Chains A and B, each alone.
Chain A
Amino acid sequence: MKARLWPIILIAAGFILSFAIPYFGLLDLYVQMILIYICINIILALSLNLINGYMGEFSVGHAGFMSAGAYISAIITVKCLSSASAAWLFPFAVIAGGVGAALLGLIVAIPSFRTRGDYLAIVTLAFNMIIKSVLENIDAVGGARGFLGMDKLTTLPVAFFWTLITIWVIRNFIYSNYGRGVLSIREDEIASDLMSVNTKQVKLLAFVISSFFAGVAGGLFAHLLQFINPRMFDIIKSTDILIMVYLGGIGSIAGSILGATVYTLLLEILRPLEIWRMVIMPLILIFLMLFRPRGIMGLKELTWFVPVLDRINSNRGVKGIRKWFS
């Protein structure tokens, strides 16, 4: 019972804090901004972990999905809605961004039916590059100069809320029939197919869910910065997300939360070092790969994120097996 109570208390405390901090100005704006970044990065890391960690594929174009969400939601709030209604309809704009990204995820999922590994990595890389150059060439959204005019709608409670939704939905997915299908594809795709797992359906779902939440993160990002341009969503951004996933640990929700938090903080702490940051970050990564190649949490999960139904294999009695098979 205790194990069930703690997460609820923490979530409630988190919500209260997320409202109280900006309301009473408990932390300065810079720190608040970093907290929101951590939330956005958790969403990005966890959604990428679904593909790279749980499914064992290697997608390197996650920022491409993020850009779709960012642009779609920004266009909706700036061009389609008045400032007053945008504030209320912001969640729907974010969802629309997620849906747009998910449609792109559908397109990327199709090559994953036939190719995997290096080849699929190249497909996602190409996707990231294509979407960036497409955005650079659409003048209606500012082309390479970028797009602005968004209100700062991504507040701390909003970011916290979306982070919780992401964690909950992805956790639910992983601890389901389809989620086990995702894991079995990582372990052995052919055996998985032969054990009746509809691998195409599972891949499609995984890509759609992953890119949906990347799009959500993009929407939040656009309404935090209030300015976006295609360069923000290039391969470097995708690499950042990859680092968070592999730092925190593949195939672990707790790992992605940890990875996103540590990485975001490190980036800020090392900011005074300027260019040296680019030396230190890769070094950290190299050490990590040498000593903990699956990341800090690598395939381990915090009990809190495991549904009660799935925690222990409480042995049930033997009955009716013959009936089942007759």
Chain B
Amino acid sequence: MVLLKAENITHYFGGLCAVSEFNLELREHELIGIIGPNGAGKTTVFNIMTGVYKATSGSIMFNGQETVGKSPNSITALGIARTFQNIRLFSDLSVLDNIRIAHYSGTKYTPIEALLHAGRYRAEEKRIRAHSMELLSFFSMEEFADELAKNLPYGMQRRLEIVRALATRPKLLLLDEPAAGMNPKEIDRLMEFIHWVRNEFKLTIIVIEHQMRFVMSICERLVVLDFGTTIAEGNPAEIQNNAKVLEAYLGTPAVNDYGK
């Protein structure tokens, strides 16, 4: 079944065309990669899918609903969650609160019940807390529940971002350079982790990544962007031998592991 269908997405920043005529058809439970040199427009595609930017033109159907023009929180409520290229945790809040905040749209009590701590407040808060703790234990992070997010080590913060995204109960998970700043060993573990998460939570996943080894080995399909245009699409083997890609991306000696 098709989960997401992006048609002719084009986005301009002033005069700069960051994404041009982007098309994508994503089936349920797929794991695909978006690759491309720095500034190719990968993050912009994520920002459009999640409603941070409204595409200049084009349409995205997600699970039968148009998302272009919707606010980020309503798109998240529909089932698209993401992580960020630069970690964007709620750093002065506890790990538990980071997770609880991601339960916002599923919370079933009114502001009046909140102000009086009455009605469904108690039961709902217990449920949210229990789910959050379960989720944290599932990722072996329950002992950090009380810790401020900013005090976690870097790798743990990256993991927390994924857990927080999962707390919104997504169908589609967008990971923006999850391997940035990791060493080869950590990257191996991350690859296993992503596979495992996808199966456990029945997710469809799109990853943006610079590291060829990473995307080549975990993605079933790749989309290559360059200057906002899709220059190639196919399975890793096809992409590896695509002349355009070699020229635009693999041929560039300055591709580094860290991105921005």
Complex CA gap A186/B129 in Å reads 22
Q: Is B65 engaged at the interface, CB distance under 8 Å to the other chain?
A: no
Query: Contact between A321 and B138 (Cβ–Cβ < 8 Å)?
Result: yes
Contact partner of A179 (CB less than 8 A), chosen from B91, B114, B131, B201, is B114
Q: Is A195 located at the chain interface by the 8 A CB criterion?
A: yes
- Bound form: Cα–Cα A179–B77 in Å: 19
Determine which of A188, A197, A200, A205 lies in contact with B88 in the assembled complex, contact meaning CB atoms within 8 Å: A188
Partner of A196 from the list B73, B125, B126, B201 (CB cut-off 8 Å) is: B73
Q: Which of the candidate stretches A140-148, A168-176, A256-264, A273-281 sits at the interface with the other chain?
A: A168-176
Bound state CA distance, A183 and B105, in angstroms?
Answer: 16
Chain B residues lying within 8 Å of A121, measured Cβ to Cβ, are: none
Q: Do B114 and A307 have beta carbons less than 8 Å apart?
A: no
Tell me whether A181 and B104 are in contact in the complex, defined as CB-CB below 8 angstroms, given that A172-B116, A313-B145 are known contacts.
yes
Q: Is the CB of A326 within 8 A of B202?
A: yes
Q: Is A180 on the interface with B (CB-CB < 8 A)?
A: yes
Is A283's beta carbon under 8 Å from chain B?
no
A198 touches B105 (CB 8 A): yes
- Name the segment of B19-27, B92-100, B217-225 touching the other chain: B92-100
Closest Cβ–Cβ distance, residue B215 to chain A (whole Å): 23
CA distance A129 to B189 in the complex (A): 59
> Which bracket fits the contact residues of B?
35 or more
Contact across chains for B92 and A187 when beta carbons are under 8 A apart: yes
A-chain residues with CB within 8 Å of residue B133 when the two chains form the complex: 313, 315-316
On whether the beta carbons of A176 and B114 are closer than 8 Å, the reply is: yes
Question: With a CB–CB cut-off of 8 A, which chain A residues contact B97?
Answer: 180, 183
> Is B71 close to A, CB under 8 A?
yes
**Which single residue of chain B is at the shortest CB-CB distance from A190?**
B52
A193-B72 in contact (CB<8A): yes
The DSSP consensus for interface residues of chain A is: helix
CB–CB B114/A177 < 8 A: yes
5 pairs of residues in contact across A and B, judged by CB atoms under 8 Å: A172-B115, A187-B92, A196-B104, A200-B71, A325-B201
In Å, the complex CA distance between A310 and B106 comes to 19
Does B90 lie within 8 Å of A188, measured CB to CB? yes
Given contact pairs A195-B76, A197-B73, A198-B105, A178 touches B134 in the complex (Cβ within 8 A) = no
**In the complex, what's the smallest C-beta–C-beta distance from B119 to chain A, in angstroms?**
11
Within 8 Å by CB of B202, from A176, A191, A325, lies A325
Residue B130 lies at the interface, judged by CB distance under 8 Å to chain A? yes
In this complex, which of B84, B90, B116, B165 has the most chain A Cβ atoms within 10 angstroms of its Cβ?
A: B90
Q: Within 8 Å of chain A (Cβ to Cβ): is B64?
A: no
Is residue B11 within 8 Å, beta carbon to beta carbon, of the partner chain?
no
Nearest-neighbour CB distance to chain B for A249, whole angstroms, equals 14
Contact A319 B92 (CB under 8 A): no
A-B residue pair count with CB separations less than 8 angstroms: 139
Given contacts A177-B128, A196-B168, A313-B145, contact A187 B76 (CB under 8 A): no
* Residues of chain B within 8 A of A312, CB atoms compared: 146
Known pairs A177-B100, A195-B164; list 6 more (Cβ under 8 Å): A181-B104, A183-B90, A190-B88, A194-B72, A196-B73, A309-B125
Contacts of A299 in B (CB 8 A): 92
Given A321-B134, A325-B169, residue A315 in contact with residue B90 (CB < 8 A): no
Task: Name which residue of chain B comes closest to A179, CB basis.
Answer: B114
Nearest opposing residue in chain B for A204, CB measure: B111
Task: Indicate with 1 or 0, residue by residue over B114-128, a CB within 8 angstroms of chain A CB atoms.
Answer: 111100011011101
Cα separation A315 to B136 with both chains bound (whole Å): 10
Asked whether B107 is an interface residue with its Cβ less than 8 Å from the other chain, the reply is: yes
**In the complex the two chains form, is B114's CB within 8 Å of A173's CB?**
yes
When C-beta atoms are compared, the residue in chain B nearest to A307 turns out to be B117
A180 to B105 alpha-carbon distance, docked (Å): 12
B90–A194 touching, CB < 8 Å: no
Instruction: List the 5 closest A-B pairs by CB distance, nearest first.
Output: A176-B114, A187-B90, A196-B105, A313-B145, A196-B76
- Inside 8 A of A192's CB, which chain B residues have their CB? 90, 101
Closest CB-CB distance, B204 to chain A, in whole Å? 13
Q: Chain A residue with minimal CB distance to B125?
A: A309
Structural contact, A181 and B130, CB atoms closer than 8 A = no
Q: B115 contacts which chain A residues (CB < 8 A)?
A: 169, 172-173, 176, 209
Whether, in the assembled complex, A322 has its beta carbon less than 8 Å from a beta carbon of chain B, the answer is yes
Highest count of chain B CB atoms <10 Å: which of A188, A313, A320: A313
Instruction: Provide the residues of chain A in CB contact with B90, threshold 8 Å.
Output: 183-184, 187-188, 191-192
Q: Please provide the chain A residues from 282 to 326 with a CB less than 8 Å away from any CB of chain B in the complex.
A: 299, 307, 309-310, 312-313, 315-316, 318-322, 324-326
What chain B residues lie within 8 Å of A183 (beta carbons)? 90, 93, 97, 101
A198: chain B residues at CB < 8 Å are: 73, 104-105
Partner of B107 from the list A177, A191, A199, A313 (CB cut-off 8 Å) is A177
**How far is B107's CA from A299's CA once the two chains are assembled, in angstroms?**
25
Distance in angstroms between the alpha carbons of A136 and B90 in the assembled complex: 44
Say whether B137 faces chain A, with CB atoms less than 8 Å apart.
yes
Task: Write out the residue numbers on chain A whose beta carbons fall within 8 Å of the beta carbon of B109.
Answer: 176-177
Inter-chain CA distance A166–B225, complex, in Å, is: 55
B142 partner residues in chain A, CB cutoff 8 A: 315
How far apart are the CA atoms of A290 and B44 in the complex, in Å? 40
Q: How far is the CB of A183 from chain B (nearest CB, A)?
A: 6
Whether, in the assembled complex, B103 has its beta carbon less than 8 Å from a beta carbon of chain A, the answer is: yes
B158 contacts partner chain A, Cβ-Cβ < 8 Å: no
Q: Which of A175, A177, A320, A321 contacts B103 (CB 8 A)?
A: A177
